[in-house]
Amino acid sequence: MRLPGVSTRRIHPFPGALAMGVEEELLLVDATTLHAAPGATAVLERCTAEVPDRVSAEITTLQVETNSTPRLHPDDLLDELAALRRMAARCAACEGLRVVASGLPVLGAVVPPPITEGDRYAQGMDTYRGLHDEMSMCAFQVHIDIPDLASALDVANRLRPWLPVLLAMSANSPYFAGRDTGYASWRALAWARWPVAGPPPYFQSPAHYEEVLRALGESGALVDPGTVFWDVRPAPRLPTLEVRVADMTTTAEESVVFAALIRALVAVSLHEAERGEPAPAPSCEVLRAAYWRAARDGLGGTGLDVIAGKAVPAALLAERMVAHALPALEAYGDALLVTSGVRRLISHGCGAARQRAAARGGPLEAVVRHLVEQTVPGQT
């Protein structure tokens, strides 16, 4: 499979050949009722028999997660993501289920959701309690190779102003359990209630980071390092920076556009750090307001320029972000892929807008059918 406008030449180092990996969290729905269904255990058994170590459990049995290998080229990443989705769909079909790429379940009695069995999940329930009521949420996560903690934290600081823009672009959870929430990303609002979630603090150094983690541990807010849920973080078990702000994207092609854009933003950040440019430091209060506006209105509404403190069309902020990333996109051969992908999003709407268009004011089963077809074309 080849993406339009992607160079097949060797990736140019800017500032290095950064591998990217993707985690996609998929919901399971009943093939007949289209309601969210707790079939993860059986689906995972089938998936792991086909591809060990590429599909894993999530916190609820309504979900499965696919994990790509690190990839340098978007074409290779698309091939793998599409193959993993098809495999998950095949295994789900054997259980009378379908897979859906959406930030939240559109239909079903999912509050509280069925929690996956295991000591870690039990400890999480004991710690976080009612926060689990809306944990049937699905995110899209990108890992970029950065083995050095100091560099990862510096890049995270530089990505903070762009996190609300990435959220607006990826917003894909307007419906939850049969209700229109009025938001483009209800997942982001539900997630914000957790004690260590949303945009991270601005970290002055690795020592500052470790000091904050120690204090969070003392507070009881962490079950383990994996429950540091900031939207950009040094990954707890991998030598990567993990960007986890996005709702689950509807199509594999969108996932690849976001992954390539995020890699370019990371590369530009590393280049800025090498040149000694200071990182912008918008306040947590301003970022919180920008998140709320992005979650409410998505890409078709108004966003907040967190540096200037000005209301700006969200589409314009997305174009500015692409322009900021353009030197690295051009160096990697990904400029046309990302610019055309972002133009499509602006023209056709983010996932939330497309879900609402599929509803057309009628029963929400039409939305789930739209998502089923978009997640894995031909899945019926």
Least confident of 7-21, 179-193, 196-210: 7-21
User: Does the structure show a pLDDT above 50 at 10?
Assistant: no
Asked if pLDDT for residue 13 goes beyond 90, the answer is no
Structural domains in the chain?
20-375 (3.30.590.20)
What pLDDT does residue 8 have?
Answer: 38
Tell me the C-alpha distance between 59 and 221, whole Å.
17
Q: What is the mean pLDDT of residues 90-113?
A: 97
User: Rounded distance, CA 374 to CA 95, Å?
Assistant: 20
Q: For CA atoms 249, 168, 275, 333, give the dihedral sign.
A: positive
**Mean pLDDT value of segment 256-283:** 95
Indicate whether 380 pLDDT > 80. Answer: no
B/e letters for 79-105, b = 16+ CB within 10 Å, e = fewer, are bbbbbbbbbbbbbbbebebbbbbbbbb
Q: Percentage of residues in the chain with pLDDT exceeding 90?
A: 89
| Percentage of the chain lying above the pLDDT 70 cut | 96
pLDDT, one tens digit per residue, over 123-143 is 888 889 999 999 999 999 999
- d(Cα 124, Cα 220) in Å, to the nearest integer? 11
When the pLDDT of each residue in the chain is averaged and rounded to a whole number, the result is 94
Confidence of residue 236 (pLDDT cuts 50, 70, 90): confident
- pLDDT tens column, 50-73: 999 999 999 999 999 999 999 999
Residue 17 pLDDT class (50, 70, 90 cuts): confident
What is the arithmetic mean of pLDDT over 202-230? Answer: 94
Does the pLDDT value for residue 6 go beyond 50? no
- Of 283, 251, 231, 194, the C-alpha closest to 371 is 251
> What pLDDT shows up at residue 15?
54
Cα distances from 55 to residues 42, 66, 146, 304, 306, in angstroms, run 12, 4, 24, 37, 37
Predicted TM-score (pTM) of this structure: 0.94
pLDDT-derived band at 22 (thresholds 50, 70, 90) equals: very high
pLDDT confidence tier of residue 9, bands split at 50, 70 and 90: very low
**Strand 197-198 vs strand 229-230: parallel, antiparallel, or unpaired?**
parallel
Of 14-23, 114-123, 297-306, give the lowest mean pLDDT range.
14-23
Parallel, antiparallel, or unpaired for β 97-100 and 229-230? unpaired
Name residues whose C-beta falls within 8 Å of residue 42's C-beta, 6 or more positions apart in sequence: 95
Confidence of residue 147 (pLDDT cuts 50, 70, 90): confident
pLDDT at 250: 98
pLDDT of residue 16: 63
Whether the per-residue pLDDT at 7 is higher than 60: the answer is no
Q: Which of these, 326, 331, 345, 343, lies nearest to 261 by C-alpha position?
A: 326
